[in-house]
């Protein structure tokens, strides 16, 4: 299972659609339905916002194991 940084890396990769577009923390926060300030707090604590990520995955029809587990990486 990925740690906070790994999960955020996969989310940013998904949001960028594998292009060279730079995805910022505010883009991730918006995608998972939290404020930028709240994202900064959970980033500092390295606390994964499971509920927001799971809701994002459901809305995008994305298998959450691609975000949380290394075996099904979007980068491979």
Please tell me the chain's helix, strand, coil percentages from 3-state DSSP, rounded to the nearest 5.
60, 0, 40
- The residues, ordered by sequence, that sit 6+ positions from 50 with a Cβ below 8 Å of its Cβ are none
Instruction: Name the pTM for this structure.
Output: 0.85
* Average pLDDT score over residue span 10-19: 88
Give yes or no for residue 16 having a pLDDT over 80: yes
Q: Tokens at residue 10, please? A: 């996969």
């Amino acid at each position: 299972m990925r740690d906070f940084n790994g999960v955020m890396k996969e989310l940013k990769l998904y949001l960028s659609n594998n292009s060279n577009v730079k995805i910022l923390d505010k883009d991730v926060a918006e995608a998972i339905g939290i404020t930028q300030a709240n994202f900064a707090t959970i980033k500092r604590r390295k606390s994964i916002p499971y509920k927001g990520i799971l809701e994002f995955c459901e809305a995008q029809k994305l298998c959450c194991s691609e975000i949380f587990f290394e075996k099904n990486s979007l980068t491979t």
